[in-house]
Structure 1
Amino acid sequence: MSLAITLHILAATIWVGGMFFAWMILRPVAVDLLEPPQRLTLWYHAFQRFFPWVWAAVIVLLVTGLWMLFGVFGGMGGAGLHVHLMLVSGLAMMALFLHIWFAPYPRLGKAIAAENWSAGGKQLGQIRRLIGINLILGLATVAVASAGRYL
């Protein structure tokens, strides 16, 4: 079980930490230093590198979460409220990521290829908002995961 917990925590750290870095550090610097064509291109290429890690994190979180849910708690009936909250928030985060992956992210790539910076900015804005929501959910999930069983 220690392997499952370790992999689960590492996957969550990579995903939530990446969103925190993007939102709190990279975004303000990119806005201050880059014009829209360079900024949009930077973000698209950053997402190209980050999103495979998110896919890996999603898979690891699902597998290890279910492994622990059924291996440790014997199913949902044996799990505490904090486990239920982690599952719900994790599934919501995954759904938001899937939406980003299949909708605004490809549209951002098409807008950049067409040098349609206005359309690209609109898609990046949507991605930014959804990542912001996911970041809030992710931080709340980390708090629940860390302290939930002690409440």
Structure 2
Amino acid sequence: MTPFALLYALHVLAATVWVGGMFFAWMVLRPAAVAMLQAPERLRLWTDVLRRFFVWVWVAVLVLPISGIGMWHMRFGALESAPRYVHIMAGLYLVMLALFLRIQLLQLPSLKRAVEAEQWPAGGAVLGQIRRLVGINLILGLLVVALASARPLF
């Protein structure tokens, strides 16, 4: 396996874990949790799910720029010689990172506090905010995957 192939494989796996995890949470787990669980159980479930998933998101957040910049230098030599779509992907990564950090550092602690205090309406409100940001991140992640797959000529 060439060094580029290794970086590419790590990059694709990291993106798959992050974007695929968000897709599963949004499209599969959330509807099932709403249908099957009352608010207290649902909020406890999401607190634990997010804690476990975010460990893997942190891995992706670290692997993506390392592998991406490595591939960027191997393939294009210099940052400015890369096609525009590569720059767009890097910019979208930064937006996704900012949204993830907002959830991880600001909203998840609020959700945990609400669940521990059994303040279910407050927890539900925070979970709704997290859900919206995850939805935005999912759309951005799918856009990045589509962009990487299409490799447009701009």
Match of 1:16 among 16, 19, 22: 19
Q: Which residue is 2:52 aligned to?
A: 49
Query: Deviation per CA, 1:63-84, whole angstroms, max 9, x where unpaired?
Result: 1111112222122211001101
Displacement over 4 Å in runs of 4+: none
Query: Deviation per CA, 1:7-64, whole angstroms, max 9, x where unpaired?
Result: 0000000000000000000000111111000000000000111000000000000111
Structure 1 segments unaligned to the other structure (5+ residues)? none
Q: Which residue is 1:113 aligned to?
A: 116
Q: Which amino acid aligns with 2:28?
A: I
- Looking at structure 1, the residues matched to 70 and 153 of structure 2 have their Cα atoms a distance apart, in angstroms, of 22
Q: Which residue is 1:93 aligned to?
A: 96
- Looking at structure 2, the residues matched to 75 and 83 of structure 1 have their Cα atoms a distance apart, in angstroms, of 12
With normalisation by structure 2, the TM-score equals 0.95
Q: Which residue is 2:70 aligned to?
A: 67
Q: Which residue is 1:40 aligned to?
A: 43
Q: Which residue is 1:141 aligned to?
A: 144
With normalisation by structure 1, the TM-score equals 0.97
Give the deviation of 1:150 after TM superposition: 5.7
What percentage of aligned pairs have identical amino acids?
A: 54
Structure 2 segments unaligned to the other structure (5+ residues)? none
Q: Which amino acid aligns with 1:125?
A: G
Q: Which residue is 1:25 aligned to?
A: 28
Match of 2:86 among 83, 102, 125: 83
Give the deviation of 1:103 after TM superposition: 0.6
Query: Deviation per CA, 1:74-119, whole angstroms, max 9, x where unpaired?
Result: 2221100110111011111011000100111010000000000011
- Looking at structure 2, the residues matched to 74 and 120 of structure 1 have their Cα atoms a distance apart, in angstroms, of 48
Q: Which amino acid aligns with 1:127?
A: I
- Looking at structure 2, the residues matched to 129 and 67 of structure 1 have their Cα atoms a distance apart, in angstroms, of 32
The 3 A distance-change label for structure 1 pair 142 and 50 is same
Count residues with an aligned counterpart: 151
